[in-house]
C-alpha cells in the first residue's frame, strides 16, 4: 500500500507540473480535464467502483480528477494509481491556524494526497455566503500548501435574466484570484448557478461567449502565454448526453461534473469521449 505521504508528494508535484506536462505532450493542445465532484454523496462503495473501473479503463485522452468527500480522500488515496489521474478536495477553511474547531485546513487537505481543491463553488458562495475576498484567501492557502485551486464562478438566474452574466463572472474571477501576487497556477470552472443540479444548461453559443470572455480576461491579466494555458471548465448539469457537445465549444477545456459523476458507468463514458 502506498503511504499517504508518498502519494501526497507525488500528487502535489505532479499537479503543479500538470500544465507544462500536458502541453508538452499535446504540443500546445490542452488535454481536457474531467473532474467529478461528489459533493456530500460519496461512499466507500462508490470509491471502490471507481477504483475497479479505473484499473481496467485508465483514462487515455483526458486528465481525470476525482473530488470525493474529505473523509474518503485518504481511503481512496491509498489505493489510487497515478495512471488514473488526480484526487482533489472540496473546499477548505480560509485560515490554517490550529485553533479552528472542526474545519479542514488546506494543509490537512494536502496531507490526504489531494492535488487539487475546488474553491468558491456556488454552494459555498450562496448557501454559506462566501465572498470572493474569502475565496481569494483560500486560493492563497491552496498555493501555500501545493494545491492547485479550481476557482468556481457563475451567475444566478436573475443575473442572467438581467444580462449581467459576463459582468458577474469577470468580477468573481478578478476578486477571487490575487493576480498581483500569483503564487501558483489555477483552473477556472464556469458554473451557472441555475444550471447546477437542474438538468438545464445554457446553449452552446452562450457557453462559448462566457468562456471566450474568461480567456480574454486571463490573457489581459497574466499575459498571452500563461493566459492561454489556464484550463476553463464548464459545470452545471453536464452529463454523458451533452458532454461531447460542450467539450467541442471553443475555450472549453474540461468539465466539472456533480450528479453524473456518482455513477462510474455513465461517468466512464464521459471520460472516454473527452
Ligand atoms: P451538477 O453539479 O453536475 O450536478 O449540476 C455540478 C457542480 O456543482 O459542480
* Residue 260 pLDDT: 97
DSSP state of 63: E
The stretches in the chain having pLDDT less than 50 are 1-27
Whole-angstrom distance, CA of residue 126 vs CA of residue 198? 16
Residue 245: per-residue pLDDT: 97
- At what angle are helices 44-56 and 264-273 packed, to 10 degrees? 40
The catalytic residues are 121, 191
Which pLDDT score, from 0 to 100, does residue 28 have?
53
Domain ranges (residues) in the chain: 4-94+101-273
Closest ligand 1 atom to residue 122 Cα is 8
Pocket of ligand 1 contains residue 237 by CB under 6 Å: yes
**Residue 38 C-alpha to ligand 1 middle, in angstroms?**
9
> How do residues 220-271 score in pLDDT, each as one tens digit?
999 999 999 999 999 999 999 999 999 999 999 999 999 999 999 999 999 9
247 lines ligand 1 (CB under 6 A): no
Alpha-carbon dihedral 212, 163, 206, 208, rounded to 10 degrees: 0
Q: What is the pLDDT of residue 23?
A: 38
Query: What is this structure's pTM?
Result: 0.89
- Ligand 1, closest atom to CA 236? 5
Residues 6+ away with beta carbon under 8 Å from 219: 227, 228
User: What is the structure's pLDDT at 29?
Assistant: 66
pLDDT of residue 105: 87
CB distance 211 to 246 below 8 Å: no
Give me the pLDDT at residue 76, please: 95
Report the SS3 class of residue 234. Answer: strand
Residue nearest to atom 7 of ligand 1 (CA): 258
Domain 4-94+101-273 fold is TIM Barrel (3.20.20)
Q: Which of 65, 188, 197, 200 to mutate to test the pocket of ligand 1 (most atoms within 8 A of CB)?
A: 197
pLDDT of residue 2: 34
Question: For residue 128, is it left (φ>0), alpha (ψ between -120 and 50) or beta?
Answer: alpha
Amino acid at each position: 500500500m502506498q503511504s499517504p505521504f508518498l502519494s501526497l508528494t507525488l500528487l502535489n508535484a505532479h499537479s503543479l507540473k500538470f500544465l507544462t506536462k500536458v502541453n508538452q505532450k499535446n504540443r500546445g493542445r490542452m488535454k481536457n480535464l474531467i473532474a467529478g465532484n461528489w459533493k456530500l454523496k460519496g461512499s466507500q462503495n462508490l470509491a471502490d467502483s471507481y477504483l475497479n473501473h479505473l484499473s481496467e479503463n485508465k483514462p487515455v485522452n483526458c486528465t481525470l480528477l476525482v473530488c470525493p468527500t474529505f473523509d474518503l480522500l485518504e481511503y481512496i488515496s491509498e489505493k489510487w494509481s497515478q495512471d488514473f489521474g488526480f484526487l482533489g478536495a472540496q473546499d477548505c477553511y480560509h485560515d490554517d491556524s490550529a485553533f479552528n474547531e472542526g474545519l479542514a485546513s488546506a494543509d490537512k487537505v494536502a496531507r490526504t494526497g489531494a492535488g487539487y481543491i475546488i474553491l468558491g463553488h456556488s454552494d459555498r458562495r450562496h448557501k454559506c455566503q462566501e465572498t470572493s475576498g474569502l475565496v481569494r484567501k483560500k486560493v492563497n492557502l491552496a498555493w501555500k500548501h501545493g494545491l492547485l485551486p479550481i476557482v468556481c464562478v457563475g451567475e444566478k438566474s436573475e443575473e442572467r435574466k438581467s444580462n449581467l452574466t459576463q459582468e458577474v463572472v469577470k468580477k468573481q474571477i478578478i476578486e477571487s484570484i490575487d493576480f498581483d501576487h500569483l503564487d501558483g497556477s489555477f483552473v477556472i470552472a464556469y458554473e451557472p448557478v441555475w444550471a447546477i443540479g437542474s438538468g438545464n444548461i445554457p446553449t452552446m453559443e452562450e457557453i462559448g461567449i462566457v468562456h471566450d470572455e474568461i480567456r480574454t480576461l486571463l490573457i489581459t491579466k497574466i499575459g498571452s502565454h500563461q493566459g492561454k494555458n489556464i484550463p476553463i471548465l464548464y459545470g452545471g448539469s453536464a452529463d454523458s448526453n451533452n458532454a461531447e457537445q460542450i467539450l467541442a465549444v471553443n475555450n472549453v477545456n474540461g468539465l466539472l461534473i456533480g450528479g453524473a459523476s456518482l455513477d462510474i458507468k455513465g461517468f466512464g463514458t464521459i471520460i472516454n469521449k473527452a
